[in-house]
Amino acid sequence: EEICVCLYEFYRSFKDYLHSHIPCRRRDVLVLTPWLAPIVWEGTFSRDILNAQYMQKKLVTGVVTFAVKKYVQFIEGFMSSANKYFLAGHQVIFYLFTDNPEQIPHIQMAPENRLFVIPVQNHSRWQDISMSRMDIISRYIRSQFQYEVHYLYSIDVDVQLFEHIGVEIIDALVGTISSWQYTARRESKSYETRTESQAAIPKGEGDFYYTASFYGGSVAEVYKLTRACFKGVMKDRENGIEARWHDESHLNKYLLYHKPTRLLSPEYYWDAELSRPRIIQVKRMCSVHKNKRRQVIRSI
């Protein structure tokens, strides 16, 4: 009986403690992977506690974004919303790769943030723009980023942030669950399955389907990831094959065999084309690009 009283007391004090930091806990979603990596949803963390920890460590985080050709039109919306909501109050360095540095609009940066505009060549095929990102990121990590930031995240430019994306995203290797595929069963996920491709995932394997629109981690981990993915892209090219979803297919292959240490729920990249199910309590970042044709193909 005494033990019972003890346990009850413990539970009660813990419950109060939890409640004071996380007012609405989640029971409706998966919050831990089978390899014990947290899956970040609204209602699973206290940003105050995380902020204080991160602040103590004096960390700097980098964001890599590409805006090539017509995609310069998205810079303004991305940069102004990211300055407001991405790791607000913490030091962030934005690395903006573009083929047209002169055309960059004036961007009002938050005082703690910095912006580097880096010229990059354009490719005629969009698939090549998308896939060359892995190569460019890894080369710049080697020559520059590793000396300037601790963590590095790659984000599509055709997005806008609507809510805070804070230090809950910080970890060694971080992937975001795709808003298109969060419910799909393994067999119906968009993985590359042709065994001739380096991105091939054997039938019946795969954990989650991750979006290439938002991933990151420590500089060292992102270096390994981007190098491996680019190697896969090159090998495929030699063999005359292109993975189903380009860099995204290679990212999914990599993250299957190098398990992410933290996953972001689709709150962190919600596709504008989709209606919002109940489990998505906040849309923190959404795509703003409406290209019906490609999206229809993608959802098949």
Where in the sequence numbering do the catalytic residues fall?
Answer: 248
User: In angstroms, rounded to a whole number, what is the distance separating the alpha carbons of residues 30 and 292?
Assistant: 30
- Taking CB under 6 A as the criterion, the residue among 41, 87, 137, 156 binding ligand 2GW is 156
Q: What single string gives the DSSP state of each residue in 86-117?
A: BSTTS-EEEEEEES-GGGPPP----TT-EEEE
Give the binding-site size for ligand 2GW (rule: CB under 6 A).
21
> Which residue, chain included where needed, has tokens 């005359």?
240
271 binds Mn ion (CB under 5 A): no
User: At residue 14, what is the residue type?
Assistant: F
Phi, psi of 208 (to 5 degrees): -125, 165
- Which residue number, 138 or 287, has a Cβ lying nearer to Mn ion? 287
User: Beta strand 285-287 with 173-177: parallel, antiparallel or unpaired?
Assistant: unpaired
- For residue 227, the SS3 value is helix
- Which residue number, 154 or 218, has a Cβ lying nearer to ligand 2GW? 154
Q: Identify residues 193-252 at the interface with ligand 2GW (CB under 6 A).
A: 211-213, 245-248
Q: Which does 132 bind (CB under 5 to 8 A by kind): Mn ion, ligand 2GW, none?
A: none
| Residue 70 Cβ vs Mn ion, minimum distance, rounded to whole Å | 12
Q: Which does 212 bind (CB under 5 to 8 A by kind): Mn ion, ligand 2GW, none?
A: ligand 2GW
158 binds Mn ion (CB under 5 A): yes
- Which residue number, 64 or 167, has a Cβ lying nearer to ligand 2GW? 64
Taking Cα atoms as reference points, which of 36, 34, 18, 35 lies closest to residue 26?
A: 18
Residues with Cβ < 8 Å from 48, sequence gap 6 or more? 21
Instruction: Give the pair of three-digit tokens for residue 160.
Output: 């806008």
158 binds ligand 2GW (CB under 6 A): yes
- Which residue number, 167 or 213, has a Cβ lying nearer to ligand 2GW? 213
Q: Identify residues 4-63 at the interface with ligand 2GW (CB under 6 A).
A: none
Q: Identify residues 100-129 at the interface with ligand 2GW (CB under 6 A).
A: 126, 129
DSSP 8-state class, residue 165: B
Sites of contact with Mn ion (CB under 5 A): 156, 158
